[in-house]
Amino acid sequence: MLTRIFLFISLMLFATAAIADVMQWQREFPKADFSKTTVPYKEILSGGVPRDAIPAIDTPLFKPAHDVDLTETEPVIGIEINGQYKAYPLRILMWHEIVNDHLAGQPITVTYCPLCNAAIVFNRTLEGQILDFGTTGRLRHSDLVMYDRQTESFFQQAMGVAIMGTLAGKELEMLPARIESFANYKKRAGPNAPILVPTNPRMRNYGINPYAGYEKGYPFLYKGELPDGINPMQRVITTQKRDIAYSLALLRERGEIKAPNDVVFRWSAGQNSALDGRLIAKGRDIGNVTATQNGKDIVYFIEFAFVYHAFSKGGQIIQ
């Protein structure tokens, strides 16, 4: 009898907490329809800051690569669409997480979640509507939960799927991009290729890593299961399918891995970790990774092992 009473009280507390969370969300996101959800409310946690406290960049400023003072080995997200290029340094995305932009006439959203080391570029046109994204201040499985300003639906950054709100269940298209060194970007895009620079250099401590030492620690606000036999903070490489992953250490050792479906991963030296020391330019060399299928760039992720485990639904990690 006491067990049943305890269980009932526990369920009531969980329900009360969930209702309180939704009420707070509704105050911050008045357009949103929180009756529509694809995940349990309790999995969405506050990251300690409110909506847009980490401000997305909506009017990005670019300079030609030859005119940008950036260490050659610093990481950038390099994108190519129809022969046109842009790059987004992690030293900037570390502080903003989202950039709403265009490239070659394509509306895109460039995202980076430092807690997961997840760099993903999206086509921000969904069912004919161009969406603009911001940060909710919430996390799920330690991953950025972003929202679109048109309907205020919540999107899981790691999957590009709306998990709550009017668009719940809808999925954004992911676009191929590389996390590469500044030097590698210039080599393939040319010295005049545009690279994102701060609109206001004094707005944040660009170049400083506010998560210094994080990759040597433990996942932040992560309450899910951890992968077996591997440090949850070890980097792994996988494709958008997330059916199989390879440790970065293994790829570094081999230099090249031929994965199923004619996917080829390649590694080369010369890129700093953005999440190692205080200065991104001084981070340890974790190298560059490319992923191709039949010679063409494809969507791929370099993420922490716990992230892969959380979103792969039992996918295998080879190390």
**pLDDT above 90 as % of the chain:** 91
Higher pLDDT, 14 or 220: 220
Mean pLDDT value across residues 138-146: 97
If you average pLDDT over every residue of the chain, what do you get? 93
The DSSP letter of residue 57 is B
The whole-number pLDDT of residue 24 equals 85
Higher pLDDT, 109 or 13: 109
Mean pLDDT value across residues 120-129: 98
CA distances from residue 183 to 56, 138, 199, 268, 306 in whole angstroms, order as listed: 26, 34, 23, 12, 30
Residue 52 has pLDDT above 90, yes or no: yes
Residue 183 — left, alpha, or beta (φ > 0 → left; ψ -120 to 50 → alpha)? Answer: alpha
The whole-number pLDDT of residue 106 equals 98
Residue 172 has pLDDT above 90, yes or no: yes
CA–CA distance, 48 with 179 (Å, rounded to integer): 28
Q: Which residues contact 5 (CB under 8 A, 6 or more apart)?
A: none
Higher pLDDT, 9 or 252: 252
Mean pLDDT value across residues 50-66: 97
Residue 131 has pLDDT above 50, yes or no: yes
Among the listed residues 54, 166, 67, the one whose alpha carbon sits nearest the alpha carbon of residue 111 = 54
User: Are residues 270 and 202 in contact, defined by beta-carbon separation less than 8 angstroms?
Assistant: no
Residue 3 has pLDDT above 60, yes or no: no
| Tens-digit pLDDT profile for residues 83-103 | 999 999 999 999 999 999 999
The whole-number pLDDT of residue 74 equals 98
pTM of the prediction?
0.92
Residue 12 has pLDDT above 50, yes or no: no
| Sign of the CA dihedral running 239, 242, 247, 248 | positive
Amino acid code (one letter) for 110: V
The whole-number pLDDT of residue 185 equals 98
**pLDDT above 70 as % of the chain:** 94
Residue 60 has pLDDT above 60, yes or no: yes
Mean pLDDT value across residues 266-287: 97
Residue 242 — left, alpha, or beta (φ > 0 → left; ψ -120 to 50 → alpha)? Answer: left
In this prediction, residue 18 has a pLDDT band, given cuts at 50, 70 and 90, of low
The whole-number pLDDT of residue 19 equals 55
Tokens found for residue 59: 């009017």
Backbone angles phi, psi at 108, to 5 degrees: -130, 155
The whole-number pLDDT of residue 20 equals 56
| Tens-digit pLDDT profile for residues 195-219 | 999 999 999 999 999 999 999 999 9
The whole-number pLDDT of residue 8 equals 39
